[in-house]
Chains A and B, each alone.
Chain A
Amino acid sequence: MLAQSQPAAVGESSSAALLRVADLRKSFPIKGGLFGRAQAHVKAVDGISFDVRTGETLGIVGESGCGKSTLARLLIQLIEPDTGTIALDGSPMAAGSAALRVLRRQIQMVFQDSYASLNPRLTIEDSITFGLKANGTDRIEAKHRAHAVLDMVGLAPDMFAQRYPHELSGGQRQRVNIARALALGPRLLILDEAVSALDKSVEAQVLNQLQELKQRLDLTYIFISHDLNVVQYISDRVLVMYLGKAIEVGPVQRIYNAPLHPYTRGLLSSRLSMDPRRRVSAAPLSGDPPNPIDPPSGCRFRTRCPIAEPLCAQREPGLVAAGDSHIVACHAQHSGSGHSLAAQA
Chain B
Amino acid sequence: MLTYFLRRALYTVPIALGVSIVCFALIHLAPGDPLSAVMPEGASQEVVAELRAAYGFDKSLPVQYLTWLRRVLTGDFGYSIMTRRPVLGEVAPAVVNSLILAAAAILIGFLTGLMLGLIAGYNNGTMLDRVVTSVAVTGVSVPHYWLGMVLIVIFAVNLGALPAMGMGTSGSADFAMDWESLRHLILPAISLSVIPAGIIARSVRGTVAEVRKQDFMQTLYAKGLPPRRIFVHVIKNAAPTVLAIMGLQLAQLLGGSILVETVFSWPGTGLLLNTAIFTRDLPILQGTILVLAMFFVFTNLIVDLIQSAFDPRIKRS
A residues engaging B (CB < 8 A)? 30-36
Contact = CB atoms under 8 A, between A and B. Distances in A.
Contacts of B3: 32-34
B301 to A, nearest CB: 16
B10 interface: yes
A31 to B, nearest CB: 7
Interface residues on B, range: under 10
Contacts of A35: 7
Contacts of A34: 3, 6-7, 10
Given A33-B3, A34-B6, A36-B7, 8 more contacts: A30-B317, A31-B317, A32-B3, A32-B317, A34-B3, A34-B7, A34-B10, A35-B7
Interface string B282-317: 000000000000000000000000000000000001
A33 B10 CA distance: 12
A186 to B, nearest CB: 39
Interface in B1-50: 3, 6-7, 10
A33 B4 CA distance: 8
Contacts of A33: 3
A31 B317 CA distance: 7
B15 to A, nearest CB: 16
B6 to A, nearest CB: 6
A122 to B, nearest CB: 30
Nearest to A32: B317
B200 to A, nearest CB: 33
9 contacts: A31-B317, A32-B3, A32-B317, A33-B3, A34-B3, A34-B7, A34-B10, A35-B7, A36-B7
Nearest to B316: A32
A30 B6 CA distance: 18
Contacts of B7: 34-36
Contacts of B317: 30-32
A33 B2 CA distance: 10
A8 to B, nearest CB: 52
Contacts of A30: 317
Interface in B37-73: none
Contacts of B6: 34
A36 B6 CA distance: 11
Nearest to A39: B317
Across the A-B interface, give the 6 residue pairs with the lowest CB-CB distance, nearest first.
A32-B317, A34-B6, A34-B7, A34-B3, A33-B3, A31-B317
A3 B7 CA distance: 55
A117 to B, nearest CB: 27
A35 to B, nearest CB: 8
Interface in B85-119: none
Contacts of B10: 34
Contacts of A31: 317
B252 to A, nearest CB: 29
A51 B271 CA distance: 76
A21 to B, nearest CB: 32
B5 to A, nearest CB: 10
A279 B3 CA distance: 50
A30 B3 CA distance: 15
Contacts of A36: 7
A85 B270 CA distance: 65
A324 B71 CA distance: 81
Nearest to A33: B3
Nearest to B7: A34
A154 to B, nearest CB: 37
Nearest to A31: B317
Nearest to B317: A32
Most A Cβ at <10 Å: residue of B3, B6, B10, B317: B317
B23 to A, nearest CB: 27
Nearest to B11: A36
A36 B316 CA distance: 10
Nearest to A36: B7
A33 B5 CA distance: 11
A42 to B, nearest CB: 13
Contacts of A32: 3, 317
A34 B7 CA distance: 5
A55 B6 CA distance: 56
A30 B315 CA distance: 13
A39 to B, nearest CB: 8
A239 to B, nearest CB: 33
A196 to B, nearest CB: 24
